[in-house]
Amino acid sequence: MRTEDDSWDIVSSVGATALGVAALRAGESRRTDALFHDPYAELLVSAVGSASWTRLSQGDVGRIDQSTVRSYGVLGDLLVARTCYFDDYLEAAAAAGLRQIIIVAAGLDARAYRLDWPAGTTVFELDQPKVLQFKAAALADRKPAADRREVPVDLRDDWPAALRGNGFDPAVPTAWLVEGLLRYLPADAQDRLLTHIAALSAPGSRVAINTTPGQLSPTMQEQEDGRDRLLATLDIDLDVDALWYPAEGRSDPVHWFTEQGWTVVRADPAAVLTDRGRDVPEEVAAEMRDHLLMTATRGDSTP
């Protein structure tokens, strides 16, 4: 097992990346043409009590140069695409009768509260203990729309025992969501995570994943640099790149699940937006294609 030093809370290390994505969800939710509404995003970021993070979640970023606006905008577009795509994925899983949902690395994901879950649905949320504690405290007076169960774990360790201990049933088909996580895991921990997911998935189970699978392209690097400049402007001390593990030696989730006999479907992040009526210039659409969005379904038999 890991030591306490390897864990983090919501304002430090990888925990703070959950604030970054929640701030982007808050930004989309404020738009008059928003493609989704997450009323919990701004509330959760503000609950940290940091003026800088609150300003970011409220879109109050002062005067910033146009290249930063554009770079950060592409990251925002990606976040909006993945939110819509994963919302649809989970709603389709629920409509197909799946009642066991697992949000891996849940961070400040509020889907257990904001999606319209059928009766009898259980949503398990896995993340570091202090991240889950923060969210539970911030949303203490809100009622989840499903049976929400917190599973405090380090995903680099042996987490299935903790999941089972919270009532997870591997004999029942499950919908897994792995959003915004893989590059924060070393390559071997990513493989262990995928192996655990496959081993715990009854026939009919599904998984949805996003990641940046390869080396950062120059345009992706520009987007990351834009985000870093913006955070620096707000005096937010968060070096996201430093938290990413290398691409080398990392399995491609598309191949990984295909080899396990699952049926994999990839999505084009730009098309997710244009299908919903949002304009995406072609050069931005091309940049977004460095990013992987996928779902996979386990058939009736393993290979």
Residue 102, interface with ligand SAM (CB under 6 A)? no
Residue 156 Cα distances to 25, 170, 188, 192, 210, angstroms: 27, 20, 9, 8, 18
Q: Give the integer Cα–Cα distance in Å for 153 and 90.
A: 23
Interface with ligand SAM (CB under 6 A), residue from 26, 163, 181, 208: 181
198 near ligand SAM, judged by CB under 6 A: no
Q: Which of 44, 80, 131, 272 binds ligand SAM (CB under 6 A)?
A: 131
260 Cβ contact partners less than 8 Å away, ≥ 6 residues apart: 198, 298, 302, 303
Binding to ligand SAM by residue 11, rule CB under 6 A?
A: no
Could you tell me which stretch among 28-36, 89-97, 175-183, 258-266 binds ligand SAM (CB under 6 A)?
175-183
Q: Should residue 101 be labelled a site residue for ligand SAM when binding is judged by CB under 6 A?
A: no
| 269 sits near ligand SAM (criterion: CB under 6 A) | no
Segment interacting with ligand SAM, rule: CB under 6 A, options 17-25, 93-101, 211-219, 271-279: 17-25
Q: Does residue 219 contact residue 231 with C-beta atoms inside 8 Å?
A: no
Report the 10 Å Cβ neighbour count for 172: 14
> Contact between 14 and ligand SAM (CB under 6 A)?
yes
> Which residues touch 165 (CB under 8 Å, ≥6 apart)?
none
109 belongs to the binding site for ligand SAM (CB under 6 A) = yes
Per CB under 6 A, contacts with ligand SAM among 141-170 are 154-156
What is the smallest separation between the CB atom of 143 and ligand SAM, expressed in angstroms?
20
**What minimum distance in Å lies between the beta carbon of 299 and ligand SAM?**
27
Terminal CA-CA length for the chain? 32
Binding site for ligand SAM (CB under 6 A): 14-15, 17-18, 21, 105-109, 127-128, 131, 154-156, 179-181, 184
